[in-house]
Chain A
Amino acid sequence: MLIKAERAINRFSDFLGTVAAVLFILMLMNVFIDVVMRYALNEVSIAMQEMEWHLFAAMFMLGVPYTLRAGGHVRVDLVYENLSIRRKAIIDIAGGLLLLIPFCLLVGWYGIDFAHEAWSLGETSGDPGGLSNRWIIKAVIPFAFFATAISGIAMILNSVIALKDEHETKIDRGLL
Protein backbone atom coordinates (compact mmCIF):
# COMPACT_ATOMS: atom_id res chain seq x y z
CA MET A 1 0.00 0.00 0.00
CA LEU A 2 2.66 2.52 1.11
CA ILE A 3 4.96 1.23 -1.59
CA LYS A 4 2.28 1.66 -4.21
CA ALA A 5 1.54 5.21 -3.13
CA GLU A 6 5.22 6.06 -3.11
CA ARG A 7 5.68 4.64 -6.59
CA ALA A 8 2.73 6.56 -7.97
CA ILE A 9 4.08 9.83 -6.61
CA ASN A 10 7.54 9.04 -7.90
CA ARG A 11 6.15 8.49 -11.39
CA PHE A 12 4.48 11.89 -11.16
CA SER A 13 7.73 13.55 -10.04
CA ASP A 14 9.69 11.78 -12.77
CA PHE A 15 7.19 13.00 -15.31
CA LEU A 16 7.76 16.58 -14.15
CA GLY A 17 11.48 15.96 -14.55
CA THR A 18 10.95 14.87 -18.14
CA VAL A 19 8.87 17.95 -18.86
CA ALA A 20 11.55 20.14 -17.27
CA ALA A 21 14.30 18.51 -19.34
CA VAL A 22 12.38 19.22 -22.54
CA LEU A 23 11.77 22.80 -21.39
CA PHE A 24 15.50 23.19 -20.88
CA ILE A 25 16.32 22.09 -24.42
CA LEU A 26 13.69 24.50 -25.75
CA MET A 27 15.16 27.28 -23.63
CA LEU A 28 18.67 26.62 -24.93
CA MET A 29 17.45 26.75 -28.52
CA ASN A 30 15.31 29.80 -27.79
CA VAL A 31 18.24 31.86 -26.45
CA PHE A 32 20.49 30.69 -29.27
CA ILE A 33 17.96 31.59 -31.95
CA ASP A 34 17.37 35.01 -30.40
CA VAL A 35 21.08 35.79 -30.47
CA VAL A 36 21.47 34.65 -34.06
CA MET A 37 18.39 36.54 -35.23
CA ARG A 38 19.47 39.74 -33.55
CA TYR A 39 23.08 39.62 -34.66
CA ALA A 40 22.68 38.24 -38.16
CA LEU A 41 19.30 39.64 -39.15
CA ASN A 42 18.77 42.62 -36.84
CA GLU A 43 15.49 40.99 -35.88
CA VAL A 44 14.31 41.18 -32.30
CA SER A 45 11.15 39.57 -31.02
CA ILE A 46 10.13 40.67 -27.55
CA ALA A 47 7.81 37.66 -27.32
CA MET A 48 10.71 35.30 -28.01
CA GLN A 49 12.87 37.15 -25.50
CA GLU A 50 10.17 36.80 -22.86
CA MET A 51 9.71 33.15 -23.74
CA GLU A 52 13.32 32.62 -22.63
CA TRP A 53 12.61 33.36 -18.99
CA HIS A 54 9.23 31.64 -19.09
CA LEU A 55 10.94 28.40 -20.15
CA PHE A 56 13.80 28.97 -17.72
CA ALA A 57 11.46 29.59 -14.78
CA ALA A 58 9.14 26.68 -15.54
CA MET A 59 12.18 24.44 -16.01
CA PHE A 60 13.73 24.99 -12.59
CA MET A 61 10.41 25.22 -10.75
CA LEU A 62 9.20 21.87 -12.09
CA GLY A 63 12.70 20.55 -11.50
CA VAL A 64 12.42 21.06 -7.73
CA PRO A 65 9.94 18.21 -7.02
CA TYR A 66 11.77 15.96 -9.48
CA THR A 67 15.10 16.67 -7.82
CA LEU A 68 13.62 15.89 -4.41
CA ARG A 69 12.55 12.50 -5.74
CA ALA A 70 15.97 11.99 -7.33
CA GLY A 71 17.73 12.86 -4.07
CA GLY A 72 19.49 15.82 -5.65
CA HIS A 73 18.87 18.49 -3.01
CA VAL A 74 22.10 19.16 -1.21
CA ARG A 75 22.50 18.30 2.48
CA VAL A 76 25.12 19.25 5.01
CA ASP A 77 26.46 15.83 5.90
CA LEU A 78 28.55 16.65 8.95
CA VAL A 79 26.30 14.43 11.07
CA TYR A 80 23.90 12.89 8.59
CA GLU A 81 26.38 10.74 6.74
CA ASN A 82 27.39 8.71 9.78
CA LEU A 83 23.87 8.03 10.99
CA SER A 84 22.11 4.71 10.79
CA ILE A 85 19.40 4.20 8.21
CA ARG A 86 16.86 4.39 11.00
CA ARG A 87 18.07 7.80 12.16
CA LYS A 88 18.26 9.11 8.62
CA ALA A 89 14.68 8.01 8.07
CA ILE A 90 13.59 9.79 11.25
CA ILE A 91 15.29 13.01 10.15
CA ASP A 92 13.59 12.84 6.77
CA ILE A 93 10.18 12.15 8.29
CA ALA A 94 10.54 14.96 10.82
CA GLY A 95 12.00 17.41 8.31
CA GLY A 96 9.34 16.53 5.77
CA LEU A 97 6.47 17.00 8.19
CA LEU A 98 7.78 20.03 10.05
CA LEU A 99 9.75 21.93 7.43
CA LEU A 100 9.23 20.89 3.84
CA ILE A 101 5.52 20.17 3.56
CA PRO A 102 4.23 23.13 5.62
CA PHE A 103 6.57 25.49 3.80
CA CYS A 104 5.54 24.27 0.35
CA LEU A 105 1.84 24.22 1.20
CA LEU A 106 1.89 27.76 2.55
CA VAL A 107 3.78 29.24 -0.40
CA GLY A 108 1.59 27.24 -2.77
CA TRP A 109 -1.53 28.49 -1.03
CA TYR A 110 -0.58 32.15 -1.41
CA GLY A 111 0.59 31.38 -4.93
CA ILE A 112 -3.00 30.54 -5.88
CA ASP A 113 -4.17 34.09 -5.13
CA PHE A 114 -1.14 35.42 -6.93
CA ALA A 115 -1.90 33.51 -10.12
CA HIS A 116 -5.63 34.09 -9.82
CA GLU A 117 -5.05 37.84 -9.65
CA ALA A 118 -3.13 37.72 -12.94
CA TRP A 119 -5.87 35.60 -14.48
CA SER A 120 -8.73 37.85 -13.38
CA LEU A 121 -6.96 40.99 -14.63
CA GLY A 122 -6.06 39.31 -17.92
CA GLU A 123 -2.47 40.36 -17.21
CA THR A 124 -0.12 40.55 -20.16
CA SER A 125 3.43 41.73 -20.65
CA GLY A 126 3.77 45.52 -20.50
CA ASP A 127 6.22 45.59 -23.39
CA PRO A 128 5.39 45.91 -27.08
CA GLY A 129 4.82 42.52 -28.67
CA GLY A 130 5.23 40.75 -25.33
CA LEU A 131 3.49 37.57 -24.26
CA SER A 132 -0.08 37.56 -23.02
CA ASN A 133 -1.59 35.23 -20.39
CA ARG A 134 0.84 36.01 -17.56
CA TRP A 135 -1.28 33.81 -15.30
CA ILE A 136 0.20 30.68 -16.85
CA ILE A 137 3.74 31.35 -15.67
CA LYS A 138 2.45 32.66 -12.34
CA ALA A 139 0.41 29.49 -11.88
CA VAL A 140 3.66 27.55 -12.09
CA ILE A 141 4.43 28.86 -8.57
CA PRO A 142 1.52 27.16 -6.74
CA PHE A 143 1.75 24.12 -8.99
CA ALA A 144 5.46 23.58 -8.38
CA PHE A 145 5.20 24.12 -4.63
CA PHE A 146 2.25 21.73 -4.31
CA ALA A 147 4.08 19.20 -6.47
CA THR A 148 7.08 19.54 -4.17
CA ALA A 149 4.88 18.92 -1.16
CA ILE A 150 3.54 15.80 -2.89
CA SER A 151 7.06 14.69 -3.71
CA GLY A 152 7.83 15.29 -0.03
CA ILE A 153 5.06 12.83 0.89
CA ALA A 154 6.82 10.20 -1.19
CA MET A 155 10.04 10.97 0.64
CA ILE A 156 8.27 10.45 3.96
CA LEU A 157 6.64 7.23 2.74
CA ASN A 158 10.01 6.00 1.60
CA SER A 159 11.42 6.69 5.06
CA VAL A 160 8.49 5.00 6.78
CA ILE A 161 9.06 1.92 4.64
CA ALA A 162 12.73 2.03 5.54
CA LEU A 163 11.86 2.20 9.26
CA LYS A 164 9.61 -0.82 8.94
CA ASP A 165 12.08 -2.85 6.99
CA GLU A 166 15.54 -1.92 8.02
CA HIS A 167 17.30 -4.54 5.97
CA GLU A 168 16.62 -2.78 2.74
CA THR A 169 18.68 0.34 2.30
CA LYS A 170 15.93 2.43 0.87
CA ILE A 171 17.46 5.76 1.62
CA ASP A 172 19.90 7.07 -0.90
CA ARG A 173 18.76 10.65 -0.91
CA GLY A 174 21.29 13.42 -0.92
CA LEU A 175 24.24 11.15 -1.50
CA LEU A 176 24.34 11.32 -5.24
Chain B
Amino acid sequence: SLAMFGTAQADEKVYRLKLAESWPTNFPVFGDAPRNMAAMAEKMSNGRLQITIDSANKHKSAFGVFDMVRAGQYDMGHSASYYWKGKVPNTLYFTTMPFGMTAPEQYAWFYYGGGMELMEKVYGEFNILSFPGGNTGNQMGGWFQKEINSLEDLKGLKMRIPGFAGEVLAKLGASPTNIPPGELYTALERRTIDALEWVGPSLDLRMGFHKIAPYYYTGWHEPATELQFMINKRSWDRLPADLQEVLRVAMRTAAYDMYIQSYHESAENMAVLDKDYPKVQIRTFPADVMKALHKANNELLAESAAKDPLAKEILDSQATYLKKARRWTDISDKAYLNSAD
Protein backbone atom coordinates (compact mmCIF):
# COMPACT_ATOMS: atom_id res chain seq x y z
CA SER B 1 0.00 0.00 0.00
CA LEU B 2 3.03 2.21 0.40
CA ALA B 3 3.68 1.90 -3.33
CA MET B 4 0.08 2.76 -4.05
CA PHE B 5 0.45 5.85 -1.88
CA GLY B 6 3.47 6.81 -3.97
CA THR B 7 1.60 6.71 -7.26
CA ALA B 8 -1.28 8.58 -5.73
CA GLN B 9 1.19 11.29 -4.77
CA ALA B 10 2.51 11.55 -8.29
CA ASP B 11 -1.01 11.81 -9.65
CA GLU B 12 -1.78 14.82 -7.48
CA LYS B 13 0.16 16.95 -9.91
CA VAL B 14 -2.03 19.71 -11.28
CA TYR B 15 -2.04 20.23 -15.05
CA ARG B 16 -2.92 23.69 -16.30
CA LEU B 17 -4.07 24.36 -19.82
CA LYS B 18 -4.77 27.72 -21.44
CA LEU B 19 -7.64 27.93 -23.91
CA ALA B 20 -8.25 30.74 -26.41
CA GLU B 21 -11.81 31.14 -27.63
CA SER B 22 -12.85 33.04 -30.74
CA TRP B 23 -15.74 34.73 -28.92
CA PRO B 24 -15.93 37.88 -26.81
CA THR B 25 -16.03 37.63 -23.01
CA ASN B 26 -19.25 36.05 -21.72
CA PHE B 27 -20.61 35.47 -25.22
CA PRO B 28 -23.79 33.45 -24.73
CA VAL B 29 -24.18 29.85 -25.98
CA PHE B 30 -20.90 29.68 -27.97
CA GLY B 31 -18.85 30.82 -24.98
CA ASP B 32 -20.80 28.61 -22.58
CA ALA B 33 -19.40 25.49 -24.27
CA PRO B 34 -15.73 25.99 -23.26
CA ARG B 35 -16.76 27.27 -19.82
CA ASN B 36 -18.87 24.16 -19.17
CA MET B 37 -16.10 21.99 -20.51
CA ALA B 38 -13.50 23.54 -18.20
CA ALA B 39 -15.78 23.26 -15.17
CA MET B 40 -16.54 19.61 -15.90
CA ALA B 41 -12.91 18.74 -16.50
CA GLU B 42 -11.91 20.31 -13.22
CA LYS B 43 -14.61 18.46 -11.27
CA MET B 44 -14.07 15.11 -12.92
CA SER B 45 -10.33 15.32 -12.34
CA ASN B 46 -10.78 16.40 -8.75
CA GLY B 47 -8.99 19.65 -9.54
CA ARG B 48 -6.01 18.09 -11.30
CA LEU B 49 -6.95 19.53 -14.66
CA GLN B 50 -7.37 23.30 -14.64
CA ILE B 51 -8.30 25.11 -17.83
CA THR B 52 -8.29 28.89 -18.00
CA ILE B 53 -10.16 30.56 -20.84
CA ASP B 54 -9.03 33.73 -22.60
CA SER B 55 -11.69 35.40 -24.71
CA ALA B 56 -11.07 37.26 -27.94
CA ASN B 57 -11.05 40.46 -25.89
CA LYS B 58 -7.87 39.30 -24.21
CA HIS B 59 -5.93 37.80 -27.12
CA LYS B 60 -7.53 40.15 -29.71
CA SER B 61 -7.46 37.61 -32.49
CA ALA B 62 -10.66 35.67 -33.09
CA PHE B 63 -9.24 34.30 -36.32
CA GLY B 64 -5.73 33.68 -35.01
CA VAL B 65 -6.73 30.82 -32.68
CA PHE B 66 -5.51 28.19 -35.14
CA ASP B 67 -2.03 29.73 -35.34
CA MET B 68 -1.83 30.34 -31.61
CA VAL B 69 -2.77 26.73 -30.79
CA ARG B 70 -0.48 25.40 -33.48
CA ALA B 71 2.47 27.40 -32.14
CA GLY B 72 1.67 26.40 -28.56
CA GLN B 73 0.95 29.95 -27.39
CA TYR B 74 -2.30 28.40 -26.20
CA ASP B 75 -2.79 24.71 -25.40
CA MET B 76 -6.39 24.71 -26.56
CA GLY B 77 -8.82 26.64 -28.70
CA HIS B 78 -12.57 26.92 -29.07
CA SER B 79 -13.55 28.14 -32.49
CA ALA B 80 -15.05 26.90 -35.76
CA SER B 81 -13.20 24.79 -38.31
CA TYR B 82 -14.45 26.72 -41.35
CA TYR B 83 -12.63 29.84 -40.15
CA TRP B 84 -9.36 28.21 -41.28
CA LYS B 85 -10.46 27.71 -44.87
CA GLY B 86 -8.02 30.38 -46.08
CA LYS B 87 -5.10 28.67 -44.34
CA VAL B 88 -5.99 25.00 -44.84
CA PRO B 89 -8.79 24.61 -47.41
CA ASN B 90 -9.88 21.16 -46.21
CA THR B 91 -10.78 22.44 -42.73
CA LEU B 92 -13.91 23.89 -44.38
CA TYR B 93 -15.78 20.59 -44.33
CA PHE B 94 -15.83 19.98 -40.56
CA THR B 95 -18.29 22.69 -39.53
CA THR B 96 -21.31 22.37 -41.78
CA MET B 97 -22.02 22.44 -45.51
CA PRO B 98 -24.90 23.95 -47.47
CA PHE B 99 -27.45 21.20 -48.12
CA GLY B 100 -25.35 18.98 -45.85
CA MET B 101 -26.19 16.82 -42.87
CA THR B 102 -28.38 17.82 -39.93
CA ALA B 103 -26.82 17.86 -36.46
CA PRO B 104 -27.72 14.26 -35.47
CA GLU B 105 -26.66 12.98 -38.89
CA GLN B 106 -23.39 14.86 -38.67
CA TYR B 107 -22.64 13.72 -35.12
CA ALA B 108 -23.23 10.15 -36.32
CA TRP B 109 -20.81 10.77 -39.19
CA PHE B 110 -18.16 12.24 -36.88
CA TYR B 111 -18.22 9.44 -34.31
CA TYR B 112 -19.36 6.39 -36.28
CA GLY B 113 -19.07 7.28 -39.94
CA GLY B 114 -15.37 8.10 -40.24
CA GLY B 115 -15.59 11.88 -39.70
CA MET B 116 -13.19 11.99 -36.76
CA GLU B 117 -10.55 10.04 -38.67
CA LEU B 118 -10.80 12.41 -41.63
CA MET B 119 -10.58 15.41 -39.34
CA GLU B 120 -7.44 13.93 -37.82
CA LYS B 121 -6.01 13.47 -41.30
CA VAL B 122 -6.49 17.20 -41.98
CA TYR B 123 -5.38 18.57 -38.61
CA GLY B 124 -2.67 16.01 -37.78
CA GLU B 125 -0.31 17.62 -40.23
CA PHE B 126 -0.44 20.80 -38.13
CA ASN B 127 0.11 19.16 -34.76
CA ILE B 128 -3.44 19.88 -33.73
CA LEU B 129 -6.15 17.58 -32.44
CA SER B 130 -9.66 18.71 -33.33
CA PHE B 131 -12.93 17.66 -31.66
CA PRO B 132 -16.56 18.69 -32.13
CA GLY B 133 -17.20 21.74 -29.95
CA GLY B 134 -20.96 22.28 -29.86
CA ASN B 135 -23.66 22.69 -32.46
CA THR B 136 -25.88 25.67 -33.18
CA GLY B 137 -28.45 23.48 -34.91
CA ASN B 138 -29.95 24.61 -38.18
CA GLN B 139 -29.09 28.27 -38.77
CA MET B 140 -31.59 30.67 -40.25
CA GLY B 141 -31.14 31.82 -43.85
CA GLY B 142 -31.00 35.42 -42.74
CA TRP B 143 -32.83 38.73 -42.51
CA PHE B 144 -34.05 40.19 -45.80
CA GLN B 145 -35.38 43.60 -46.74
CA LYS B 146 -37.02 42.16 -49.83
CA GLU B 147 -38.80 38.95 -50.65
CA ILE B 148 -37.13 36.29 -52.78
CA ASN B 149 -39.77 34.94 -55.11
CA SER B 150 -37.61 33.84 -58.02
CA LEU B 151 -34.07 33.36 -59.18
CA GLU B 152 -34.32 36.82 -60.68
CA ASP B 153 -34.60 38.29 -57.16
CA LEU B 154 -31.19 36.85 -56.27
CA LYS B 155 -29.47 38.77 -59.07
CA GLY B 156 -27.53 41.67 -57.61
CA LEU B 157 -28.80 40.86 -54.09
CA LYS B 158 -26.32 42.55 -51.76
CA MET B 159 -25.99 40.18 -48.85
CA ARG B 160 -23.54 39.83 -46.01
CA ILE B 161 -22.85 36.09 -46.15
CA PRO B 162 -19.25 35.03 -45.66
CA GLY B 163 -17.45 31.88 -46.72
CA PHE B 164 -18.52 29.04 -48.95
CA ALA B 165 -22.25 29.83 -48.82
CA GLY B 166 -21.44 33.25 -50.25
CA GLU B 167 -19.70 31.53 -53.13
CA VAL B 168 -22.82 29.46 -53.83
CA LEU B 169 -25.00 32.57 -53.87
CA ALA B 170 -22.50 34.43 -56.04
CA LYS B 171 -22.78 31.67 -58.62
CA LEU B 172 -26.45 32.61 -59.01
CA GLY B 173 -25.66 36.29 -59.47
CA ALA B 174 -25.95 37.56 -55.90
CA SER B 175 -23.31 39.96 -54.55
CA PRO B 176 -21.85 38.77 -51.25
CA THR B 177 -20.66 41.88 -49.40
CA ASN B 178 -18.22 42.37 -46.54
CA ILE B 179 -19.59 44.60 -43.80
CA PRO B 180 -17.85 44.87 -40.42
CA PRO B 181 -20.13 43.50 -37.64
CA GLY B 182 -20.28 46.90 -35.98
CA GLU B 183 -21.86 48.45 -39.08
CA LEU B 184 -24.19 45.59 -39.98
CA TYR B 185 -27.19 47.04 -38.20
CA THR B 186 -26.88 50.46 -39.86
CA ALA B 187 -26.13 48.86 -43.23
CA LEU B 188 -29.25 46.67 -43.15
CA GLU B 189 -31.43 49.41 -41.72
CA ARG B 190 -30.39 51.96 -44.35
CA ARG B 191 -30.51 49.25 -47.02
CA THR B 192 -26.87 49.63 -47.92
CA ILE B 193 -27.23 45.84 -48.09
CA ASP B 194 -30.43 43.93 -48.87
CA ALA B 195 -29.89 41.00 -46.57
CA LEU B 196 -27.58 39.39 -44.07
CA GLU B 197 -27.20 36.06 -42.37
CA TRP B 198 -26.22 35.75 -38.73
CA VAL B 199 -27.04 32.65 -36.68
CA GLY B 200 -30.62 32.01 -35.65
CA PRO B 201 -33.08 33.18 -33.00
CA SER B 202 -30.68 32.11 -30.22
CA LEU B 203 -28.31 34.98 -31.08
CA ASP B 204 -30.01 37.14 -33.71
CA LEU B 205 -32.42 38.89 -31.37
CA ARG B 206 -29.67 40.66 -29.43
CA MET B 207 -28.54 42.19 -32.72
CA GLY B 208 -31.96 43.79 -33.20
CA PHE B 209 -32.35 42.83 -36.87
CA HIS B 210 -36.01 41.91 -36.28
CA LYS B 211 -36.78 45.57 -35.76
CA ILE B 212 -35.53 46.67 -39.14
CA ALA B 213 -36.06 43.80 -41.60
CA PRO B 214 -39.46 42.32 -42.41
CA TYR B 215 -38.45 38.85 -43.70
CA TYR B 216 -36.71 36.08 -41.79
CA TYR B 217 -35.77 33.28 -44.16
CA THR B 218 -35.35 29.66 -43.15
CA GLY B 219 -31.98 28.04 -43.56
CA TRP B 220 -30.22 26.09 -46.26
CA HIS B 221 -26.56 27.06 -45.94
CA GLU B 222 -25.65 26.01 -42.39
CA PRO B 223 -27.85 23.08 -41.38
CA ALA B 224 -25.65 21.99 -38.47
CA THR B 225 -22.86 24.41 -37.58
CA GLU B 226 -20.46 22.48 -35.36
CA LEU B 227 -17.94 24.49 -33.37
CA GLN B 228 -14.57 23.03 -32.57
CA PHE B 229 -12.25 22.29 -29.69
CA MET B 230 -8.59 22.26 -30.68
CA ILE B 231 -5.63 21.00 -28.70
CA ASN B 232 -1.97 21.36 -29.42
CA LYS B 233 -0.56 17.83 -29.83
CA ARG B 234 2.33 18.41 -27.43
CA SER B 235 0.00 19.74 -24.73
CA TRP B 236 -2.19 16.68 -25.22
CA ASP B 237 0.74 14.29 -25.01
CA ARG B 238 1.91 15.86 -21.77
CA LEU B 239 -1.34 14.86 -20.05
CA PRO B 240 -1.52 11.46 -18.32
CA ALA B 241 -3.92 8.99 -19.91
CA ASP B 242 -6.67 9.47 -17.32
CA LEU B 243 -6.71 13.26 -17.79
CA GLN B 244 -6.79 12.83 -21.55
CA GLU B 245 -9.92 10.76 -21.06
CA VAL B 246 -11.39 13.34 -18.67
CA LEU B 247 -10.76 16.05 -21.25
CA ARG B 248 -12.20 13.97 -24.09
CA VAL B 249 -15.39 13.27 -22.14
CA ALA B 250 -15.71 16.88 -20.98
CA MET B 251 -15.38 18.17 -24.56
CA ARG B 252 -17.89 15.68 -25.91
CA THR B 253 -20.38 16.41 -23.16
CA ALA B 254 -19.98 20.18 -23.46
CA ALA B 255 -20.44 19.96 -27.22
CA TYR B 256 -23.67 18.01 -26.90
CA ASP B 257 -24.79 20.35 -24.17
CA MET B 258 -24.30 23.35 -26.42
CA TYR B 259 -26.43 21.69 -29.09
CA ILE B 260 -29.37 21.29 -26.74
CA GLN B 261 -28.78 24.72 -25.21
CA SER B 262 -28.93 26.24 -28.71
CA TYR B 263 -32.15 24.37 -29.31
CA HIS B 264 -33.61 25.71 -26.08
CA GLU B 265 -32.48 29.29 -26.65
CA SER B 266 -33.81 29.25 -30.20
CA ALA B 267 -37.19 27.98 -29.05
CA GLU B 268 -37.37 30.58 -26.27
CA ASN B 269 -36.36 33.44 -28.54
CA MET B 270 -38.66 32.30 -31.31
CA ALA B 271 -41.53 32.50 -28.84
CA VAL B 272 -40.50 36.07 -27.95
CA LEU B 273 -40.29 36.95 -31.63
CA ASP B 274 -43.75 35.50 -32.35
CA LYS B 275 -45.30 37.27 -29.40
CA ASP B 276 -43.64 40.69 -29.51
CA TYR B 277 -42.94 41.06 -33.22
CA PRO B 278 -45.81 39.38 -35.02
CA LYS B 279 -45.03 41.47 -38.10
CA VAL B 280 -41.81 39.55 -38.80
CA GLN B 281 -42.61 37.14 -41.61
CA ILE B 282 -40.97 33.75 -41.76
CA ARG B 283 -40.26 32.77 -45.36
CA THR B 284 -38.65 29.90 -47.23
CA PHE B 285 -36.98 30.24 -50.63
CA PRO B 286 -39.22 28.91 -53.41
CA ALA B 287 -38.50 25.41 -54.70
CA ASP B 288 -36.82 26.52 -57.93
CA VAL B 289 -34.45 28.82 -56.04
CA MET B 290 -33.54 26.02 -53.65
CA LYS B 291 -32.99 23.69 -56.56
CA ALA B 292 -30.69 26.13 -58.31
CA LEU B 293 -28.76 26.76 -55.08
CA HIS B 294 -28.38 23.02 -54.56
CA LYS B 295 -27.10 22.59 -58.11
CA ALA B 296 -24.61 25.46 -57.76
CA ASN B 297 -23.47 23.98 -54.46
CA ASN B 298 -22.81 20.57 -56.00
CA GLU B 299 -20.89 22.10 -58.88
CA LEU B 300 -18.62 24.01 -56.53
CA LEU B 301 -18.02 20.89 -54.44
CA ALA B 302 -17.18 18.91 -57.54
CA GLU B 303 -14.60 21.57 -58.44
CA SER B 304 -12.99 21.33 -55.00
CA ALA B 305 -12.95 17.54 -55.15
CA ALA B 306 -11.30 17.58 -58.55
CA LYS B 307 -8.49 19.77 -57.23
CA ASP B 308 -7.48 17.83 -54.14
CA PRO B 309 -7.66 14.08 -53.40
CA LEU B 310 -8.15 14.59 -49.66
CA ALA B 311 -11.02 16.99 -50.33
CA LYS B 312 -12.53 14.34 -52.59
CA GLU B 313 -12.17 11.72 -49.88
CA ILE B 314 -13.92 13.92 -47.30
CA LEU B 315 -16.69 15.02 -49.65
CA ASP B 316 -17.31 11.46 -50.84
CA SER B 317 -17.47 10.24 -47.27
CA GLN B 318 -19.97 12.97 -46.38
CA ALA B 319 -22.09 12.41 -49.47
CA THR B 320 -22.23 8.66 -48.96
CA TYR B 321 -23.03 9.00 -45.29
CA LEU B 322 -25.64 11.67 -45.88
CA LYS B 323 -27.46 9.43 -48.34
CA LYS B 324 -27.55 6.54 -45.89
CA ALA B 325 -28.47 8.65 -42.87
CA ARG B 326 -31.07 10.71 -44.72
CA ARG B 327 -32.97 7.60 -45.73
CA TRP B 328 -33.39 6.86 -42.05
CA THR B 329 -34.16 10.51 -41.17
CA ASP B 330 -36.87 10.48 -43.82
CA ILE B 331 -38.69 7.46 -42.51
CA SER B 332 -38.12 8.30 -38.86
CA ASP B 333 -38.18 12.02 -37.96
CA LYS B 334 -39.46 13.41 -41.22
CA ALA B 335 -42.30 10.90 -41.53
CA TYR B 336 -43.18 11.46 -37.92
CA LEU B 337 -43.20 15.26 -38.28
CA ASN B 338 -45.25 15.09 -41.45
CA SER B 339 -47.78 12.70 -40.01
CA ALA B 340 -48.05 14.01 -36.47
CA ASP B 341 -49.17 17.52 -37.46
Q: Do chains A and B touch in the complex (CB under 8 A)?
A: yes
Interface string of B79-95 (1 = CB under 8 A from A): 00011111110000000
Q: Tell me, yes or no, whether A123 is within 8 Å of chain B by CB.
A: yes
Q: Closest CB of chain A to B330's CB: distance in Å?
A: 32
Whole-angstrom distance between the alpha carbons of A172 and B164 in the complex? 54
For B85, the chain A residues whose CB sits under 8 A away are 126
Whole-angstrom distance between the alpha carbons of A17 and B164 in the complex? 38
Is A123's CB under 8 angstroms from B178's CB?
Answer: no
Which has the most chain B C-beta neighbours within 10 Å: A44, A114, A134? A44
Chain B binding surface SS class: mixed
Is A128's CB under 8 angstroms from B177's CB?
Answer: no
Q: Tell me, yes or no, whether A102 is within 8 Å of chain B by CB.
A: no
Known: A127-B162, A129-B170. A50 touches B178 (CB 8 A): yes
Is A44's CB under 8 angstroms from B175's CB?
Answer: yes
Is A121's CB under 8 angstroms from B88's CB?
Answer: yes
Is B158's CB under 8 angstroms from A42's CB?
Answer: yes
Interface string of A27-64 (1 = CB under 8 A from B): 00000000000100011101001100000000000000
Q: Closest CB of chain B to A148's CB: distance in Å?
A: 20
Is A46's CB under 8 angstroms from B176's CB?
Answer: yes
Q: Tell me, yes or no, whether B204 is within 8 Å of chain A by CB.
A: no
Q: Closest CB of chain A to B231's CB: distance in Å?
A: 19
Known: A38-B158, A42-B156, A134-B86. A128 touches B178 (CB 8 A): no
Whole-angstrom distance between the alpha carbons of A125 and B178 in the complex? 12
For A129, the chain B residues whose CB sits under 8 A away are 167, 170, 176
Is A117's CB under 8 angstroms from B67's CB?
Answer: yes
Is A44's CB under 8 angstroms from B177's CB?
Answer: yes
Interface string of A103-125 (1 = CB under 8 A from B): 00000000001100110010111
Which partner residue on chain A sits nearest B170 by CB separation?
A128
Which has the most chain A C-beta neighbours within 10 Å: B87, B162, B163? B87
For B167, the chain A residues whose CB sits under 8 A away are 128-129
Interface residues of B in 148-172 (CB under 8 A from A): 156, 158, 162-164, 166-167, 170
Q: Tell me, yes or no, whether A130 is within 8 Å of chain B by CB.
A: yes
Is B158's CB under 8 angstroms from A126's CB?
Answer: no
Is B176's CB under 8 angstroms from A125's CB?
Answer: no
Is B86's CB under 8 angstroms from A125's CB?
Answer: yes
Is B177's CB under 8 angstroms from A49's CB?
Answer: yes
Q: Closest CB of chain A to B339's CB: distance in Å?
A: 40
Q: Closest CB of chain A to B33's CB: distance in Å?
A: 22
Known: A126-B162, A127-B162. A43 touches B176 (CB 8 A): no
Is A44's CB under 8 angstroms from B163's CB?
Answer: no
Is B177's CB under 8 angstroms from A38's CB?
Answer: yes
Whole-angstrom distance between the alpha carbons of A106 and B15 in the complex? 30
For B164, the chain A residues whose CB sits under 8 A away are 128
For A126, the chain B residues whose CB sits under 8 A away are 82-86, 162-163
Interface residues of A in 1-48 (CB under 8 A from B): 38, 42-44, 46
For A113, the chain B residues whose CB sits under 8 A away are 71
Whole-angstrom distance between the alpha carbons of A114 and B71 in the complex? 10
Which partner residue on chain B sits nearest A48 by CB separation?
B178
Q: Closest CB of chain A to B283's CB: distance in Å?
A: 22
Is A46's CB under 8 angstroms from B178's CB?
Answer: yes
Q: Closest CB of chain B to A155's CB: distance in Å?
A: 29
Q: Closest CB of chain B to A56's CB: distance in Å?
A: 12
Which partner residue on chain B sits nearest A39 by CB separation?
B192
Whole-angstrom distance between the alpha carbons of A127 and B86 in the complex? 8
Is B87's CB under 8 angstroms from A123's CB?
Answer: yes
For B67, the chain A residues whose CB sits under 8 A away are 114, 117
Whole-angstrom distance between the alpha carbons of A128 and B170 in the complex? 8
Is B87's CB under 8 angstroms from A121's CB?
Answer: yes
For A127, the chain B residues whose CB sits under 8 A away are 162-163, 166, 176, 178
A46-B178, A117-B70, A128-B164 known; 17 new pairs, CB 8 Å cut-off, are A38-B175, A43-B175, A44-B158, A44-B177, A46-B176, A49-B177, A117-B67, A117-B71, A121-B88, A123-B87, A124-B86, A125-B86, A126-B84, A126-B162, A127-B178, A129-B170, A130-B86
Interface residues in chain A, defined as those with a beta carbon under 8 Å from any beta carbon in chain B: 38, 42-44, 46, 49-50, 113-114, 117-118, 121, 123-130, 134
Q: List 11 contacting pairs A-B, 8 Å CB cutoff, sorted by A.
A: A38-B192, A43-B175, A44-B175, A46-B176, A117-B70, A126-B83, A126-B85, A126-B162, A126-B163, A127-B178, A128-B164
The 7 closest A-B pairs by CB, nearest first: A42-B156, A128-B167, A44-B175, A126-B86, A126-B85, A128-B166, A49-B178
